[in-house]
Structure 1
């Protein structure tokens, strides 16, 4: 499973600031992962500046999420910029990615697969291009310079159902789920439409 992890920071009043790890829980981490477009299942919470201390403002303290909120700001908290905290308690999270590259010759390339209904399923899209590939590379933490799309079974094929979606990205999105799309649909894919991506190293 691919992980995305780090210190939690929020953009507020035109600057980035941290979140205090006082009473930071798995429910809080689930909301952060959901807000960023990752799977909330498998989220992990960290405090005591596990990913290093931030600088500048501390925007939230005593966050108390139920776990089903869409953004962290919806959760009860002490109030914006109201805290009795220090950066030594900065909160962090790790989230499970629901996108992976599979079947490539190196770690930065492969068939694009999505975690769907409890398993990994290849993506299939005849209109996939460079912008969509850039977003996948960014989401997985790879350099986006030189990101390339490969349509067809160049990274192997899958005889089972694939996920078809007419995804259209502008190339600046953080995750594939943020791109315009019409919904994920399972079907038997034409192998010539399987999506592959090569990311920078």
Structure 2
């Protein structure tokens, strides 16, 4: 009971969480842009690339994304229309801008209703 402990393993408790896949937020790319530091933000999950819903997308998240990809500063955050059958892995991504990576941001994953995708234009490394 409460307050009485035997210190043996009969009272152990644990939480095992099913893999949320949040670690996949480090597998990023920008697709369809004019250079490697511009385009639609995509995340690889379960071996497939999918987009990030752009409805909550803003410049602070773009700043974190540009840093995570080894690009220069974020110049622009945008939403782009995509076909309805385009995979959307991340429903919501909100950052303050100073986070070290997207895992530190407020994120809702996996699978989202059809929506415009997040896009970013970062400066190329060394340009700003």
Give TM-score, length-normalised by structure 2: 0.69
Tell me by how many angstroms 1:38 deviates: 6.0
Residue in structure 2 matched with residue 198 of structure 1 by the alignment: 121
Task: Measure the CA separation in 2 of the matches of 1:168 and 1:188.
Answer: 17
* CA–CA distance in structure 2, aligned partners of residues 109 and 121 of structure 1: 16
Structure 2 equivalent of residue 82 of structure 1: none
Q: Does 1:139 align with 2:73?
A: no
Asked if residue 186 in structure 1 is aligned to residue 111 in structure 2, the reply is yes
Q: How does 1:11-26 map to 2 (within 5 A)?
A: none
Q: Residues 32-78 of structure 1: CA distance to partner in whole angstroms, max 9, x if unpaired?
A: xxxxx866xxxxxxxxxxxxxxxxxxxxxxxxxxxxxxxxxxxxxxx
Distance 2:51 2:80 in 1: 12
| Separation in 1, partners of 2:92, 2:113 | 15
- Check whether the contact 1:128–1:149 (CA below 8 A) recurs between aligned residues: yes
Distance 1:187 1:168, change over 3 A: closer
CA RMSD between the two structures: 2.0
1:122: how far off?
1.0
For the residues of structure 1 that align with 2:32 and 2:88, how far apart are their CA atoms? 15
Match status 1:105 vs 2:34: yes
Report what 2:4 is aligned to.
none
1 CA distance for matches of 2:65 and 2:27? 11
Q: Contact 2:37/2:121 (CA < 8 Å) preserved in 1?
A: yes
Preserved contact between residue 54 and residue 78 of structure 2 (Cα < 8 Å): no
Contact kept, 8 Å, 1:125 with 1:164, in 2: the verdict is no
Measured after TM superposition, the shift of residue 119 of structure 1 is 1.1
SS of structure 2 residue aligned to 1:131: helix
After superposition, residues 23-34 of structure 1 pair within 5 angstroms as none
Give the equivalent residue in structure 2 for 1:68.
Answer: none
Please say which of residues 99-108 and 134-143 is displaced more in the overlay. 99-108
Distance 2:113 2:23 in 1: 26
C-alpha contact (below 8 Å) 2:91/2:112 kept by paired residues: no
Structure 2 matches for 1:67-86, cutoff 5 A? none
Query: What corresponds to 2:94 in structure 1?
Result: 168
